[in-house]
Amino acid sequence: HRSRHKLLRRGRSRQRNTMRFPRLAVAAAICVASAQAFTLSRGKGSNVAFAPISTRATRDVSTRMSDAVAESETATEYSVMRPPIDWMTWDRVADQLVNTFGYSHEEVAKYSLDVDEDKDRLMKIYKAMTLARGFENACNQQYMQGKIRGFMHLDNGQESIPALVDYAIKKGDKKYSYYREHTHAIASGVDSGAVMAELFMKEGGTCKGAGGSMHIFDKETYFQGGWALVSEQLPYAAGAAKSILIDREMGLSDNDKFTKENVAPPEDDDRISVVFIGEGGSQNGRMAEILNAA
């Protein structure tokens, strides 16, 4: 009985192999035909594309690949997608402000005077924007290589926002942000190395590696962390603004250990509460709540 069962299994196996051979033969024929019918070519003024040929159909695969590599290394002329930065002179920008955005010539003249007088401040803003873009690009590279784990939300393309906030705020101002807060933390005065260490879950991070990308916190700069939920930071920012007013009324201020003491703040106390929010969060009900509270 067992020997008969073995013979039946061998017969079925041979039958399957016999049926499989025509399928493999058809697949091989399709691959060969495709390789002979198409090759990589670069036409004049076009990118690399597949194009049918007839004269190279008999060449072997290695020869065709060598031709494709040689053709791809040929220098190709590309037109400039955007004007160089030297093209954007102040005169051209002034024309755009007047003709496109409706500014008056008097306003543009005032801005022109401010630009000449505030070159150092403008350079500070430019450096902050450059740092923000470079930091986020580095985060993206490390994340794609698997060196940064967990969730990570980047802020590329919005460098002007943290740069201008960095230009305007002071260390004592209280800052709140959402889950794209890498550049917001740096703009608030947090050391960029500590922020990067936090992303790598290192001991030298702002939260010793426990917070990660979405929960950066720094007591010394009053950066009150990124909040993971949409608009979650808004009520806390409103409460921080209220606490500043209470400090003035009750004569309280922070000591070196960031705890309250019965010492009146200076008369020129101009601290504010700064909050970062995106267009999605501004549609949340918390936005209406804090506006009513204000």
H or E stretch at 162: helix 160-168
pLDDT score for 175: 95
Q: What whole-number distance in Å separates Cα of residue 273 and Cα of residue 236?
A: 10
- What DSSP string describes 110-143? HHHHHHHH-HHHHHHHHHHHHHHHHHHHHHHHHH
pLDDT score for 127: 92
Over the chain, what is the mean pLDDT?
78
pLDDT score for 142: 94
Looking at the fold, whether 122 and 200 belong to one and the same domain comes out as yes
The percent helix, strand, coil of the chain (3-state, each to 5) is 50, 10, 40
Looking at the fold, whether 189 and 265 belong to one and the same domain comes out as yes
Highest mean pLDDT among 22-31, 77-86, 228-237: 228-237
Count CA within 13 A, CB hemisphere, residue 278. 16
Residue 214 belongs to domain with CATH number: 3.40.50.970
- Residue where the block lists tokens 């790598």: 200
Looking at the fold, whether 151 and 60 belong to one and the same domain comes out as no
Inside any domain, residue 102: no
Which among 56, 72, 88 is the end of a domain?
72
Inside any domain, residue 109: no
Looking at the fold, whether 263 and 187 belong to one and the same domain comes out as yes
Inside any domain, residue 281: yes
pLDDT score for 90: 80
Q: What whole-number distance in Å separates Cα of residue 262 and Cα of residue 270?
A: 19
* 178 vs 71 pLDDT, higher one: 178
Looking at the fold, whether 134 and 220 belong to one and the same domain comes out as yes
CA atoms 16, 21, 26, 28: torsion sign: positive
| Short-list 243, 239, 292, CA closest to 269 | 243
* 67 vs 30 pLDDT, higher one: 67
Looking at the fold, whether 249 and 130 belong to one and the same domain comes out as yes
Query: Residues near 178 by Cβ (< 8 Å), separated by ≥ 6?
Result: 226, 227, 228, 230, 231, 232, 233, 276, 277, 278, 281
The single-letter code of the amino acid at 172 is G
Model confidence at 235: pLDDT above 60? yes
Model confidence at 158: pLDDT above 50? yes
| Short-list 25, 41, 44, CA closest to 33 | 25
pTM of the model: 0.63
H or E stretch at 193: helix 192-199
Looking at the fold, whether 68 and 145 belong to one and the same domain comes out as no
Looking at the fold, whether 135 and 235 belong to one and the same domain comes out as yes
pLDDT score for 51: 42
Average pLDDT over residues 2-30: 53
Burial class (CB in 10 A: 0-12, 13-18, 19+), 239: middle
Which domain range does residue 40 map to?
2-72
Model confidence at 252: pLDDT above 70? yes
Model confidence at 5: pLDDT above 50? yes
Average pLDDT over residues 111-117: 72
Looking at the fold, whether 146 and 12 belong to one and the same domain comes out as no
Q: Which two tokens stand for residue 120?
A: 């150092």
Inside any domain, residue 142: yes
- Based on its alpha-carbon atoms, the radius of gyration of the chain, rounded to whole angstroms, reads 32
The total number of structural domains in the chain stands at: 2
Average pLDDT over residues 36-60: 44
Q: Which pLDDT band, with edges at 50, 70 and 90, does 37 fall under?
A: very low
